[in-house]
Amino acid sequence: MSEPILSIEPAGVSKPVVDVPPLSIHKIVVGYENDECGNRALRWAEEIATVLKADLIVTHSVPPPPGVIDIYYEQLKEEVLDEARDKIADAIHRHLQHFDRPIKEVVNFDGPAKLMLRTASETDADLVIVGSHGRKGIDQFLFGSVSESLAFRCTCPVLVCGPECEPPDMRRKTVVFASTPSETSVRAAEYARAIAEYAGVKLLAMHTPAERPPTEAHDRLWKEEYVKELLRIALGEPADDAADITYCVEYGDPAEEVLTLANKEDAALIVIGSGERMVGADHFSWRPTGEILRSAPCPVLVVSDNSK
């Protein structure tokens, strides 16, 4: 078994070790479509794979050919796949010409989400990267969201690069870890802290209750401190830790508060838990996770508690 990319070691005898060997990233699956969404995903995949010295597996979903006479169907399928493989090879040449790590291509007729999920499982990938068109309303209801489907179902972390996501910028210096009353993922917290420490940037841990509790100020402050203590526990940080971690509690719409803070802090990355999967969740736009994925100014890493 290969050595992990990073592990967080104790700074002193009073600080416990946070064991994060699963953060070792050697294989990255990236979904490509021949549009700005696919190009955006490839740009981020190249940047991350270069930094982490990881291999890339590029998937491309091809619409099945229209109904034809059975005797010609297999021949037509191969012709369609060959044409798609040529397009993928051209895209890789254009977008990844300076990438010097191994690249594998997977092209078939599975739907985009199904293809990426299956490829990630079969290759034991450590990370999936996907672009998002930012669909909402009737478009999302009819067509669903590939990125949200992956975020809820994938057993490795999923990095979503939405339409508002800016190009890779190493000057950004903050990782935002966001939790809500219904979702505080310990696994996502582990990823957030390890990434911040690996990159040497500030970690901002926030909790977003929907409403300010109708209590006296001192009681509310006590509850806020209690929430911050829970965040410290999720992050594996003792109260006297000197790490560059800031804690805050923001009241209001969870998605709106996360996006506001990410813009204010010029965040390089938002890390969230996937939450509990609901049937048809990727066809509705009202969930906070979906709004964050569509509107974030930076990539969003979605981590389930089952993530490797």
Single out the residue in 131, 158, 184 at which a domain terminates: 131
Single out the residue in 72, 104, 131 at which a domain terminates: 131
Q: Are residues 38 and 93 in the same domain?
A: yes
Q: Are residues 189 and 292 in the same domain?
A: yes
Q: CA gyration radius for the chain?
A: 21
For 253-290, write each residue's pLDDT tens digit.
889 999 999 999 999 999 998 865 543 444 444 467 88
Q: Can you give the pLDDT at residue 7?
A: 31
Pick from 169, 125, 117, 148: nearest CA to 272: 148
CA 254-135-83 angle, 5° bins: 140
**Given the structure tokens 């079969």, which residue do they identify?**
122
**Distance between CA atoms of residues 280 and 232, nearest Å:** 33
CATH number for position 118: 3.40.50.620
If one counts the domains in the chain, the total is 2
Q: Are residues 60 and 126 in the same domain?
A: yes
**Structural domain of 103:** 23-131
Assess if residue 163 is contained within a domain.
no
Q: Can you give the pLDDT at residue 185?
A: 79
For the chain, residues with pLDDT lower than 70 are 1-23, 65-73, 134-145, 169-170, 181-184, 210-220, 222, 238-243, 275-287
Q: Are residues 29 and 97 in the same domain?
A: yes
Q: Are residues 106 and 41 in the same domain?
A: yes
Assess if residue 213 is contained within a domain.
yes
Q: Can you give the pLDDT at residue 215?
A: 61
Assess if residue 254 is contained within a domain.
yes
Q: Are strands 300-303 and 158-161 parallel, antiparallel or unpaired?
A: antiparallel
Assess if residue 178 is contained within a domain.
yes
Q: Can you give the pLDDT at residue 233?
A: 83
For 22-49, write each residue's pLDDT tens digit.
467 999 999 998 888 888 999 999 999 9
Q: Are residues 118 and 239 in the same domain?
A: no
Q: Are residues 178 and 295 in the same domain?
A: yes
Assess if residue 153 is contained within a domain.
no
pTM for the model stands at 0.81
